[in-house]
Structure formats: structure tokens, C-alpha cells
Amino acid sequence: MKKLMIMATVALFIGGVFGCKKGNPTGEFQANVDYFEVRDKPKYLWNELDYLCDSIHKEYGVKVIYEYNQRTIAGTTFFVPADYTKALAYTRIMIKGFWLKPLKENFPQYFTKETPIEFIEVGGFIHFNDITSAGAAAGAGLNAQFYRLGMGGVNNFNKNDKAWLFDHIVTLYHEHAHEQDHKYGRGELYDRVSLGDYYGLSYTSRSVAQSNLDGFFKPYGGYAPEEDFATSVESMARFTKAEVDLMTSKNPKLATKYRMVYKYYLDKGMDLHKLHDVLDSVVYKTVY
Amino acid sequence: MKRNLIILYCILMVSGLASCEKDVITNAAMDSKNRTVENTKALKNVLQNAPNGWVMMVKSSLSANAYTPIVMKFDTTKNIVDVKTVYGITDPNPSFFEIDSGTGSLLLTFSTSSIMTSLFRIGATASDVTDHIYKVMKISDDSIEIQGYRSGAVYKPEGGVTYKLFKRPANWDWANAAISLDFSNATWRNGIINRDGTFEFEYMDGTPKLTLKVKLGVWSDASITSYRTRDPFVTNVSAKGFLPMYPIVFDHTLPTSNTYNTTTDRLSPLIGHNAIAYYPFTFNAQTNANTIAFASKIKSQYLVLTGMTRSDATATAAIDLNFVAYDKTGEIYLKAKYSLR
């Protein structure tokens, strides 16, 4: 019997070793395929904008994406790439001229630590459910990830429309504020300041003056705390310190939140009042 | 001993069976880099080897049988694609495409703004295109099968319509770069506008022939400027790729009638690339509805110009304009002739 057991064990062992081929079973990834590999466009296909994006990447560490492939978009958000000539001018003037260059020169600490490493240029706006619906809500930018920022409306770019350019760059800081919020949190104390005062969707029927009296920089800030935070950053980028002071004087809660947001950014190396002066200068007082 | 051998044999058999899983699914085919490289090369060759370009027939909700032709010429040395279709004149700004490998099939992506990304945005009135990213399903020397990556809105299943692209037939001269239908040119339109003509529509599927009396006209420059603020494509920030539209005046009536009812029977079609597009734009509620009704009446959302003859350059010349519309496979579905005498 003992002999039989030994024989059986040997047989099992042999069967186990030679019974099947072990090579490449289900789910075992091959080492030579990198599924997350970023396949850059080969250099022989580069156009003027590809060279510009490359120089921006080298100088500022931001990869500007104007051309889409399946890695750029998610299956559940809908947006289209920008017109090539618009994207070329937008990248040169808006991205390099208005955003990255002044940011690196004036706020080096903030630039180094907080700048996203990817920026997506979107021709139209961001449609959440269906791209063909004309009237439904559409997002101005992409701000859900820490490392990636995106802005819509690039097809509307017109370098002679300074009001549009200024509005766009302050909106970019608004979208980036959402990222900062996701990344560090605006804090519970912030949310408590205007607790109970938020309008919800009825913000659309409020005027700017009324929203100031109610403790917000603009009606959209009264929509919800996250927009309150982002519109605060946007308003400090948009208006002079004197204008901001006038708004915050209308409601002590607004003044409290203003101080919180101002300090939040200052601690990270960005003086938002200085940012206004810088943006005003590059958009309205330089030649491009 | 014999019994032991039988037991041993049984054990061997059992261990042989149990020690391996038989349904091993390998992803060896997908892991092969060569496969992607080879397929990319094949697709590039095929795209490039059609000097007149490739045709994609898309379906519009405006018509059941007439499909809209999209003619695409791919330059694989610069990754630039030139797109011509019937809804408007193509903007000369370059449009780029990319060939990329997904985890499965190759992907053909219209990667910057173009007519193809606009069709994705515009939706069913213009086409059944539901993405600007396509899976490449099959490649042969004279056809390419592509399928939209997404099929529509969020929560819709993956995979849109499958299109079978074919090489542009040599006699589709309307898709050449030269523009031979140009209502914005006063010399060209002399004798064509402000005259009663006969429009005859003949169907290949046996639908009875249709004859209408038609008078064409042009809008004033001021009206054109005003209507362009309602351009269904160019005013839409996500739908670039066409030059600003050029709408014309199109009055129709029964052949026996001597008057045109400009409320019910006036429409304003758009001039496409050597084509007239019965594509609605809201310059007032009636004309929008009138355009849709007319597309339904003639069973086509467009007519492409295949030829034109005129006896002389005067305003009273004998002029014939020949048009066609195509079916799903690119065969002629409708022949139309506009005669002015």
C-alpha cells in the first residue's frame, strides 16, 4: 500500500508538472507591452503647433493637447477638438503668453508646485450627456483631475477681442481653482460661513449686486460652495483690489470668505491681487 | 499488481485532466506589436492609394433613401485630411487625422476640428455620425470598414454605425476642388436666377417622376450677412469646418401654375460643394419647415451638380443643370434636371 502511495504521489507530481503548458495564461500581461504608453506623434509628422507644444513642454512642463485620440477623452463626456489655426494662435497667445509665462515669472513657487502637467484645448464646450443637444448645460472647462486642466471655447478665440481674452484667462483660473479645491479641500470652516444662504439653481434669477449683498461675488457663486470658492478666485483675478474691497464690504460673510481664499492662495505662493495686475497688464497693456 | 497499475493509470489520467485549465484564452494576438505596425502600414497604404479619395455615405434624418456623400482625401505624409460634402464649402484650414492603436483594432481619429467632428456635434439632421473616433474593422484594396467608437449619448452602447468606405468613382467630378456651382458669382448666375425653369426629378427605384416649376434667386448682401448669424454649422462653436453658408432663394410651384406662394413654397437651401443642400436653418419658421418639407417631397436632402450646359452667356440663354443624389452604396438614386429656356 505504501508503495502504491509513493507511486501515486510521483504520478501526481509528474502530472502536475507536465500536465499543461504554463505560458501566457489569461490575464497575465506581457512585459513587452506597455498599455499606458504615451505614443507621441512621430517627429516627421510634426506641424508648427507640434513644435510650439514641444517647446512649451520643455520650458514649462505642461503638455498641451490639441489633437485628440482615444486616450484624451472619456467615453462619457463629449467634446470636439479645436480648429487647427485657432489652436495655434490660442496656444501661443493664451497658453504661453497669458498663462504660463507670467505665472512662472511672477509666482515661481506656485508655478512649480501647482501647475497641471497636461492642458487640453477644446474647440466647443464640454457636454455631459449628449453632444448634439444644443441648449443643455455645457461645461467651460475640464477640472476634475489633479494633473490635467482643459478649457473649452478655443474656436471662439480672437486675438483682437481683448474682453474675451481677459474673460477666458480669468475663467481658466476659475477652473484651476476647482482643481486646487479637489486637491487640498476648501475646508469645512469655509463651507460653514454661508451655510443656508446658497441659492441652488435659482442663482440664475439673482443680480450681481444682490449676490454681493447675500455674501457672494457673483450669482453663480451662490449656486453651491464649490462655485463660491471658484468664483472668489475668479473675481480676485478679474477685479482690482479696490473693486474687490467694495464688494466684500457689502456682507461680512463675503469678507470672511474673501480672507480665507486670499490666504489659501497666498500660502501656496500666489497673491491673487497681484495676479489681477499681471493679467490686466499682459492682456490689455502688451502687444501680441 | 494489475490492480495497482489500473489505479495508477486512473490517477495519471485524473491529474492530467485536472492539472490544467483547458480554456486558456491568450491575448497573444493583441500583444503583438508587429500586428499593430503591420496594420497601421496597411491602412496608411490603402488610405493613400486612392488619388481621388474615399467616400463615406452617411444617413440624414431628412431622407430615407438618399445618403449624403462625404469625400475624404487623406495625405498620410502630413496627416492632413481634406473633406468635401454637400452641406457647405470646406474651410481651407488644415484638418488633421491620426491612426492609433487601441487595445483591439486600429483607430482612425479625426483629431482636430473638421467637417467630421462637426457632423458628430450636429447630429441626426446632417448624418448618423456619432463620434470622431472610428474603429477600423476591415481593410482591402478597394474598401475600408470603419465603425464609430461611441453610438451616441452617455449610457448608449459602444459602437456606432459601420460605414463601408469605397474609392471615389472617377466620374464624381463634383468632388474635385474646382467649384462650378457658384451663386455668389454674378457672371456665373446670369440667366440662372430670376427665371422660371422646369425641375424634373427621376427616381431609379421606380418612384413616379416629379416635375416642378422653379425660380431661383439670391438674397441681398445684407440679408446674407443677417442669415449667417443663424448658420447651423459655423455659428456653432463645436461645429467648424465649413466656410460661412451661402443660402439662395428657391421658389417652387406646380408646372401649370403661374404664381409662386412665397409663404408656403419658398425655401432657402444652402450651397454646398457643387451641390444644393436642402438643410434647414431658421431664418424664419416657415422657410425652415418649407425646406424640410421640400427635402421630403423630392426624397433627398441634397442634389450634386454633375453637368451644366448653356447656349451663350446672356440672361436668356438655354441652360441645363444636371444633378444627382446617391443611395447607401453610392449608386445614383435620383437624377434631376433643371432647364431654363
Disruptive mutation site among A64, A65, A68, A164 for chain B (greatest number of B CBs within 10 Å): A68
Q: Taking 80 as the threshold, does the pLDDT of residue B152 lie above it?
A: yes
Cell numbers placing B292: 424640410
Q: In 3-state terms, what secondary structure has residue A167?
A: helix
pLDDT number for residue B16: 59
What whole-number percentage of chain A has pLDDT above 90?
Answer: 72
Looking at per-residue pLDDT, the higher value among A15 and B55 belongs to: B55
A contact test, residue of B22, B113, B125 with most A CBs within 10 A: B113
Residue A155: closest C-alpha in chain B: B237
Q: Please, what is the Cα angle at A34 between A33 and A37, to 5 degrees?
A: 140
Where are the domains positioned within chain B?
A: 29-174, 180-340
Long-range contacts of residues A47-55, Cβ cutoff 8 Å, at least 24 apart: A47/A84, A47/B78, A47/B94, A47/B96, A48/A88, A49/A84, A49/A87, A49/A88, A49/A91, A52/A88, A52/A91, A52/A92, A52/A96, A53/A91
Strands A118-121 and A148-151: parallel
Domain boundary among A124, A159, A194: A159
Chain A residues within an 8 Å CB radius of B79: 41, 45
Tally of helices (H runs) and strands (E runs) in chain B: 7, 17
> Residue A178 burial by CB count (10 A; 0-12/13-18/19+): exposed, middle or buried?
buried
The CA–CA distances, whole Å, from A15 to A5, A231, B10 equal 15, 70, 12
Domain final residue pick, A159, A175, A209: A159
Reduced to 3 states, what is the DSSP secondary structure of residue A148? strand
Mean pLDDT of B79-90: 96
Chain A residue with CA closest to B94: the answer is A84
CATH class of B29-174: mainly beta
In a domain, A4, yes or no: no
**A133 vs A7, residue with greater confidence:** A133
Q: Is A31 among the domain residues?
A: no
C-alpha Rg value of chain A to the nearest Å: 26
First-to-final CA distance of chain B: 110
**Does residue A268 fall inside a structural domain?**
yes
Please determine, for residue A136, whether its predicted confidence score (pLDDT) is greater than 90: no
Task: Give the count of beta carbons closer than 10 Å to the beta carbon of residue B163.
Answer: 23
Number of residues in chain B:
341
Q: For residue A85, list chain B residues with Cβ-Cβ distance below 8 A.
A: 93-94
3-state secondary structure of B326: strand
Residue B7 is predicted with a pLDDT of 76
Note whether A270 and A204 are same-domain residues: yes
Q: What is the mean pLDDT of chain A?
A: 88
Using CB atoms, pick whichever of B11, B96, B152 lies closest to residue A12: B11
Point out the residue among B7, B153, B237 whose CB comes nearest to the CB of A156: B237
* Tens digit of each residue's pLDDT (9 = 90 or more) over A1-55: 566 666 655 555 555 555 554 444 444 545 555 555 556 788 888 999 999 999 9
- Beta carbons of B112 and A7 less than 8 Å apart: no
Give the residues across from B334 on adjacent strands.
B203, B325
Cβ–Cβ under 8 Å, residues B303 and B275: yes
State what percent of residues in chain B have pLDDT above 90: 79
How far apart, in Å, are the Cα atoms of A120 and each of A47, A141, A145, A169, B80? 18, 9, 12, 14, 21
Total domains present in chain A: 2
The verdict on residue A17 lying in a domain is: no
Angle between helices A225-238 and A272-284 (to 10 degrees): 50
Q: Which residues of B117-155 are buried (b: 16+ CB within 10 A; e: fewer)?
A: bbbbbbbebbbbbbbbbbbbeebeeeebebbbbbebbee
**What percentage of residues in chain A have a pLDDT greater than 70?**
85
Is residue A6 domain-resident?
A: no
Residue A179 within a domain: no
Distance of CA A156 to the CA centre of its chain: 19
Q: What is the mean pLDDT of chain B?
A: 90
Angle, alpha carbons A227-A229-A234 (nearest 5°): 85
Optimal mutation site among B24, B108, B112, interface A, most CBs of chain A within 10 A: B112
Residue A72 has a pLDDT of 73
Q: Quick one: A21 exposed, middle or buried, by C-beta within 10 A (0-12, 13-18, 19+)? A: exposed
Looking at A132-203, list the stretches that DSSP marks H as alpha helix, in order from N- to C-terminal side.
162-184, 188-193
Whole-angstrom distance, CA of residue B72 vs CA of residue B67? 16
Q: Residue B44 phi/psi, 5° resolution?
A: -60, -45
Task: Select the residue of B91, B153, B236 nearest A129 (Cβ to Cβ).
Answer: B153
A197 shares its domain with A148: no
Residue with cell 463629449: A78
Interface with chain B: mutation pick from A84, A126, A168, highest number of B CBs within 10 Å = A84
Q: Which of A161-170, A222-231, A242-251, B21-30 has the lowest mean pLDDT?
A: B21-30
Q: Using a CB-CB distance cutoff of 8 angstroms, which residues of chain B are in contact with residue A19?
A: 15-20
Q: Could you tell me the residue range of the domain that residue A64 belongs to?
A: 42-159
| Angstrom distance (rounded) from CA B7 to CA A168 | 82
HSE of A42, CA atoms in CB hemisphere, 13 A: 9
Q: Does B6 touch chain A (CB under 8 A)?
A: no
Residue A245 lies in a domain: yes
First and final CA of chain A: distance in angstroms? 95
B78 touches chain A (CB under 8 A): yes
Calpha distance A195→A186 (Å, rounded): 14
Q: Which residues of A touch B117 (CB under 8 A)?
A: 80-81, 123
> Per-residue pLDDT averaged across A146-159, rounded?
93
Rama region for B328: left / alpha / beta (φ>0; ψ in -120 to 50; rest): alpha
pLDDT at B14 over 80: no
**Which residues on chain A are in Cβ contact (under 8 Å) with B14?**
15
State the nearest Cα–Cα gap between A288 and chain B, in angstroms.
22
**Residue A4: Cβ within 10 Å count:** 13
pLDDT at A184: 94
| pLDDT score, position A24 | 47
Residue A198: which CATH number? 3.40.390.70
Burial B187-220 (b: 16+ CB within 10 A, else e): ebbbbbbebebebebebeeeeeeeebbbbbbbbe
Phi and psi angles of residue A71, each rounded to the nearest 5 degrees, phi first: -80, -15
Nearest to A219 by CA among A234, A202, A236, A233: A202
Q: Do B120 and A131 touch (CB under 8 A)?
A: yes
Chain B from 228 to 287: CB within 8 A of any A CB:
236-241
Paired strand residues for B339: B198, B320
Chain A residue with minimum CA distance to B132: A80
Query: How confident is the model at residue A23, as a pLDDT?
Result: 47
Inter-residue contact B183 to B246 (CB < 8 Å): yes
Residues B250-295: tens digit of each pLDDT: 999 999 998 999 888 999 999 999 999 999 988 776 678 999 999 9
Say whether residue B98 is in contact with chain A using an 8 A CB cutoff: yes
Rounded CA gap, B81 and B40, in Å? Answer: 17
Residue A2 domain-assigned (yes or no): no
Give the ipTM of the model, two decimals please.
0.83
